[in-house]
Each structure stands twice: as C-alpha cells, then as structure tokens.
C-alpha cells in the first residue's frame, strides 16, 4: 500500500508511521521510504539507518542489506537524506531498486510505501505499482487542490485504481463533519472530471499528541494510544485491512519492475 499526498505538510508520514505500527501487529510489515533523498520515515521509528536506498543505487549494498528492524515485525528501508538526485532516478536505477524489493517482499504480509509528496513520475509510479493507494489531504484549499491533482495523475496511469482518502488535521470539535465535508468536495470533483472517486476512510483530528509524538520520534498510536488522533488512526487501519482483503496481491517490487521495464 502507498500513502501519498499532493503536497507536503499534510501529515502523510505521521499517518504512515502509525499505520505501519498497526499493520505490523497483524503481520510482518516492510516500510519503504520512497521520499528518496529527503526521507524521514526513519525519524518516526526512532531509527538512524546506516544504509538506505542511496547506498543501494550506489552499489554499496542490496535492498535486503539496507533494511533495519524497527520492531520484531516491522522493518524499514530508508530513503536517505541530502541527496537531491535521488528524486529523479533513471530507469535503470529504478529497475534495480524494484528488483531488490521483489527479492524480499514475499517475506512480508504487508508492504507500506511512505511516498514523496507531489506528482512526479517517480512518485506516481510507486503509487501505481501498489495494490492500494491512500491519499492524505487536509481541509486547506491548497491541500485539497493538490490532492485532486495527484488523483488525476494516478487515474491517468492506472484508470482502474480505487484510491482511498483520509482528511488529516481536522479541527477538534468539528470532527467527522469537517472531514466529511472536505472529502465530499474532492469526491464530487473527481466524479465529475475523472468518472470515479476515492473512498473516504475517515478524518484524523488536529491533536497536540501528534506534535509530542514527533518530538519523541514515535508513532502517535504508540506514544499516546488513547489520544483522539490515535483512536481515529486505529479506525482507519481497520478499514485499510478490509480493503487489502478484497484486492489481489501483485507485489510492489514486481509491479514496479514491470512499469520501468
């Protein structure tokens, strides 16, 4: 599954970190930081990976060797930091990464991609190669506009995809109503111009517990399991599991490899 957003600052990585933690309670999970060159998925798992996709591309290690264990059932492959060229790899390099992922993905029940924000070809390819794509937005008009832009790009590359939608940072006290209203606007635009729309899974409140969890380098479902945000994320994870149960498993690495072949 790929977690994506049309723009930065929507809290995509925060949501991905919690979903990774929750999915790993159900089966061995691989967290792939596809925000290559500026990856930060490792931060919310309190890790400092000695190797990353940067080293894989440079030939210093394999994808399997770049993994770090975040818990007994959760492994991470980091995206690396401070290497700008990683955001625009050539076809040969992307095929190399895809093959490395394909070599290990059968060891896992779940593979979760923390995507780069935006609509670059590289980002869209990870989304298109995933069995499921969850798009994160906020009620902010710019985030909504960019969420639609991402959904439009995904539709162009994978017309039969059935993406999911989560509205993050909903003002507490407005809750589901504000989240649902935001989702309805995006759904209506997608239905009108794309002929299909994402399924709204739920809203996550703007919760100070999330800010504290980031400072602690932990997913909020771990650091503050009784918080409003954690409760909302557990409900979303249950819906994700239902969706995953209805879709055939194609394999992230194998599908990504075919896209770039």
Domain borders along the chain are: 2-260
Say if residue 141 is exposed, middle or buried (CB neighbours under 10 Å; 0-12, 13-18, 19+): exposed
| Full pLDDT tens readout for the chain, 261 residues | 999 999 999 999 999 999 999 999 999 999 999 999 899 999 999 999 999 999 999 999 999 999 999 999 999 999 998 888 998 999 999 999 999 999 999 999 999 999 999 999 999 999 999 999 999 999 999 999 999 999 999 999 999 889 999 999 999 765 568 899 999 999 999 999 999 999 999 999 999 999 999 999 999 999 999 999 999 999 999 999 999 999 888 999 999 999 887
Supply the pTM of this predicted model.
Answer: 0.95
Please give the Cα distance from 130 to 255 (Å, whole number).
8
Specify the CATH superfamily of domain 2-260.
P-loop containing nucleotide triphosphate hydrolases (3.40.50.300)
Cβ(1)–Cβ(133) below 8 Å: yes
For residue 205, the tally of other CB atoms under 10 A from its CB is 22
Cβ(134)–Cβ(1) below 8 Å: yes
| 225, two tokens | 């399991």
Cβ(147)–Cβ(163) below 8 Å: no
- Angstrom CA distances, 117 to 2, 120, 124, 147, stand at 12, 9, 10, 10
Find, among 4, 20, 24, 38, the residue nearest to 150 by Cα.
4
Find, among 216, 202, 117, the residue nearest to 168 by Cα.
202
């Amino acid at each position: 599954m790929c977690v994506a957003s049309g723009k930065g600052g929507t809290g995509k990585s925060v949501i991905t970190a919690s979903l990774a933690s929750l999915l790993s309670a159900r089966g061995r999970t691989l967290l792939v930081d596809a925000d290559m060159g500026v990856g930060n998925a490792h931060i919310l798992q309190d890790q400092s990976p000695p190797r990353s996709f940067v080293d894989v591309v440079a030939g210093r290690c394999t994808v399997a060797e770049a993994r770090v264990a975040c818990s007994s059932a959760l492994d991470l492959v980091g995206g690396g930091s401070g290497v700008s060229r990683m955001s625009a790899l050539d076809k040969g390099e992307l095929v190399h990464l895809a093959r490395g992922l394909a070599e290990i993905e059968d060891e896992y029940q779940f593979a979760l991609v923390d995507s780069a924000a935006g609509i670059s070809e590289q980002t869209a390819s990870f989304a298109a190669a995933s069995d499921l794509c969850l798009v994160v937005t906020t009620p902010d008009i710019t985030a909504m506009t960019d969420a639609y832009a991402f959904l439009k790009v995904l539709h162009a590359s994978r017309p039969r995809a059935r993406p999911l939608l989560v509205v993050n940072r909903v003002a507490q006290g407005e809750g589901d109503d504000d989240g649902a209203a935001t989702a309805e606007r995006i759904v209506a635009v997608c239905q009108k111009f794309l002929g299909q729309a994402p399924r709204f899974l739920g809203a996550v409140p703007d919760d100070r517990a999330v800010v504290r969890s980031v400072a602690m380098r932990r997913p909020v479902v771990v650091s503050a399991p009784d918080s409003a945000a954690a409760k909302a994320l557990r409900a979303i994870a249950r819906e994700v599991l239902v969706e995953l149960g209805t879709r055939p498993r194609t394999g992230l690495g194998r599908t990504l490899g075919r896209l770039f072949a």
